Amino acid sequence: MRDSSNNNLNKRPLIAFIDASGTFDSKDRFFGVGMLILSDVGEITDKLQIIYQRVMAISQRNRERALQNFIDKGDYQSAILMLKKSYHFELKFDRITPIKIRYYKEMMRLFLSNPNFRFSAMVIDKNKRGYNANFFTTTWEAYTSYVATLVVNELKNLPNHEMFIVLDQINKPKNALLPLEDTILEKIKKRCLKFNQNKICKVVNALRIESHSNLLMQLTDVLLGAVMFDFKDKAGLISQKLKRKKEEVVKELRNGLGVDSLANNFTKHKPVYFHVWEAEFKEKQKSGGSDK
């Protein structure tokens, strides 16, 4: 009997892992949404698991040393507080330190070596001319709206594919009528109707997860973090101390894509699909959303 497993693999829906950076209800100048799209999750997860174990071992040793230091100093209260503190290890751009750089660079090379991967990021600069700060009042509103915008924008380039979206968990406001998944799906549907794009709106379902539970969500965080780093650096918001911690990882991604900076509107198709766009705003618009 003929093995049809490869054919079945080709029919798999795409899986999109979506993460956000920054908060709207704060003084953060930049807010970003990133989406990693792929269909075969097994092999990349196996390889990420090796990196994860190595970085986690470093973090555990650092934690054990800090705990022992408290005990040696007789600071038992701090030791107890550390032991009581909930600890979920994950790979995150914000947690890159010099001793971990080589492993995060390996993550970038792993991503760049998979030509079937796609990554897209949408960046919102709240200082941009025409931006209306009163349109979105909560991170929930901004996150769900910009996720819908990003998903529909990518579906235009993938008209023959179904997509399952995986969302990073965020806090739901008390006045929100629908769960996160249903809110996103409803906004995607409305955006497709608005722009007469029903044929490409093939999002089969959505699921929220905690980022520490999934390595592909963590990869999405690191990729988006690199993009946000360059936008912040371009705006003069990155200190030299922070540059020393993160620059090498961002440079690994820049060099792999063949760009001088990730803080531009650009699309690369090789070695992987990588798309970044900064939202533009109409001068007299009533909304604070992107006009794209």
Query: 38 pairs with which residues across the strands?
Result: 15
Better pLDDT: 136 or 109? 109
Percent of the chain with pLDDT over 90: 65
Cα separation, 287 vs 284, whole angstroms: 9
Number of H helices, E strands in the chain: 8, 7
Q: What is the pLDDT of residue 199?
A: 67
| Confidence grade of residue 151 (pLDDT, cut at 50, 70, 90) | very high
Q: What is the pLDDT of residue 10?
A: 54
H/E segment holding residue 248: helix 240-257
Q: Spell out the domains of the chain, with CATH numbers in brackets.
A: 5-55+92-260+268-278 (3.30.420.10)
Q: What is the pLDDT of residue 23?
A: 80
The average confidence (pLDDT) of the chain is: 89
Other CB atoms within 10 A of residue 34 CB: 26
| Confidence grade of residue 202 (pLDDT, cut at 50, 70, 90) | confident
Q: Are 281 and 131 in contact (CB under 8 A)?
A: yes
Contacts of 200 by beta carbon, 8 Å cutoff, 6+ apart: 152, 155, 156, 158, 159, 192
Q: What are phi and psi of 273, to 5 degrees?
A: -80, 125
Better pLDDT: 22 or 188? 188
Q: What is the pLDDT of residue 246?
A: 95
- Average confidence (pLDDT) over 141-160: 91
| Confidence grade of residue 49 (pLDDT, cut at 50, 70, 90) | very high
Tell whether the model's pLDDT for residue 36 goes beyond 90. yes
Tell whether the model's pLDDT for residue 285 goes beyond 60. no
